[in-house]
Structure 1
Amino acid sequence: MATNDAKFQQNPPQTTKNLFLGAQICLRILAFATTLAATWTILTSKQNILIIGMTFKARYSYSPALKFLAMANGIACAFSAISFFLVIFLRRFFFNPANYFFLFLHDLMMLLLVLAGCAAATAIGYVGQYGNSHSGWSPICDHFQKYCKRVTASLAVSYFSVLFFLMLTIISASKSRQIQV
């Protein structure tokens, strides 16, 4: 009797598999779209202003933290596309609970990478918005409004991708718990 119960628990109903696959596909598409949008927005953020006959430029590439945000989102975008195609084309392979652990590790690494980029860019964005009087840094967002709005938009979209990667990590972790040792 106990062996029959174990067999039923190991083979979940088809609707559960379809729901899990649908959630995986939807969240991976959303993670891909948000990281792509954040990457594109930060890469195209630039502004030139003229003050007292001198031209000043603001570009994402002038800040290592913003370059890190762009690269983190770009890497996460590429790897979320790869994982999307793996989940689609190898779905029979991924229904084995032992393979969910690899998805869990992938999603966790992407979550941490994008979160680190967001944290670094948020710190620099704060200094750009408010300055730091102790260090003698003046705020620049009062002069470069367009640039700062694009960087803020990229950060907001990046935080949404963190949320999607967090959901993917939770789903993959819950599925990988079913591994029989």
Structure 2
Amino acid sequence: MDSKMAEKNSDIFQITSLDAPIMSSPQHGGFFKLQFMLRVLAIAFTAAAMATMLTSKQSISMFGIVIEARYSYSSAFKFLFAVDVVVCTFSVLSLILVFLLSRSKSSPCRYFAVFLHDLVIAALMMAGCAAGTAIGEVGRDGMNQVGWVAICNRVGKFCDKVTLSVSLSYMVLVCYAALTVLSVHKLKSLAT
């Protein structure tokens, strides 16, 4: 019994044939087409979010003093940028994995691995978005109780770019939430 289990676990990610027609059944094909589309969208959104965050800077002069706003001055924005980099990288890797998975025999273990990947990435993206949103809200509205003043009325271009970057990151979160639900649905259909 242990040898059967070990044999079964050893080929979890083994590709049975690269000559198999991609997405052979219509139901199988729809699942993988949606997986590809959502992963490509996630890659595009994270790349756009990273580019926008990297270019978010603005300098102003107040009373003869030049003040500069950059994303790198905030640990929350640096965290969001790092999350975007990680998510983009793992999205590319998972796109390759899903492509290989679409060309191989269906296995609940393989789909479960994809589900776990999507769930972890969604949670990581949620953390990054929450951090970016929290500090962005403080930058926009300030916090009078502790004496933090709003800065977006002074560095509007900077705040607009950061807002766009955070919004694009939320779009990635939506993609990965959909991918997670899609993977759970596929696992459920394989179980029945």
TM over 0.5: yes
Say whether 1:34 aligns with 2:42.
Answer: no
Q: Residues 40-51 of structure 1 correspond to what in structure 2 (within 5 A)? A: 40-51=51-62
CA drift at 1:66:
0.5
Question: Partner of 1:3 in structure 2?
Answer: none
The verdict on how the C-alpha distance between 1:37 and 1:94 changes in structure 2, with shifts beyond 3 A counting, is: farther
Question: Partner of 1:137 in structure 2?
Answer: 148
Do 1:98 and 1:179's aligned partners in 2 also have CA atoms closer than 8 Å? no
CA drift at 1:51:
1.2
Structure 1 residues 169-178 or 57-66, which shifts more?
169-178
Say whether 1:55 aligns with 2:66.
Answer: yes
Q: For residues 156-177 of structure 1, give each alpha carbon's deviation from its aligned partner in whole angstroms, at most 9, with x where no partner exists.
A: 1111111000000001111123
CA drift at 1:179:
5.2
Alignment partner for residue 33 of structure 2, among 14, 22, 25? 22
Identical-pair percentage: 43
**Which consecutive residues of structure 2, in runs of 5 or more, have no partner in the other structure?**
1-23
Say whether 1:64 aligns with 2:75.
Answer: yes
Number of aligned positions between the proteins: 169
CA distance in 2, matches of 1:105, 1:35: 20
CA distance in 2, matches of 1:95, 1:131: 53
**Which consecutive residues of structure 1, in runs of 5 or more, have no partner in the other structure?**
1-12
Say whether 1:78 aligns with 2:89.
Answer: yes
TM-score (norm 1): 0.89
Structure 1 residues 73-82 or 90-99, which shifts more?
90-99
1:56 is paired with a residue whose SS is strand
CA distance in 1, matches of 2:41, 2:171: 9
Question: Partner of 2:99 in structure 1?
Answer: 88
Q: For residues 111-169 of structure 1, give each alpha carbon's deviation from its aligned partner in whole angstroms, at most 9, with x where no partner exists.
A: 11111111011110110001001100000001000000000000111111110000000
Alignment partner for residue 149 of structure 1, among 160, 179, 186? 160
CA distance in 1, matches of 2:176, 2:157: 29
Which residue identity does 1:129 align to in structure 2? R
**What is the RMSD of the two structures over their aligned residues, measured on CA atoms?**
1.6
2:58 is paired with a residue whose SS is strand
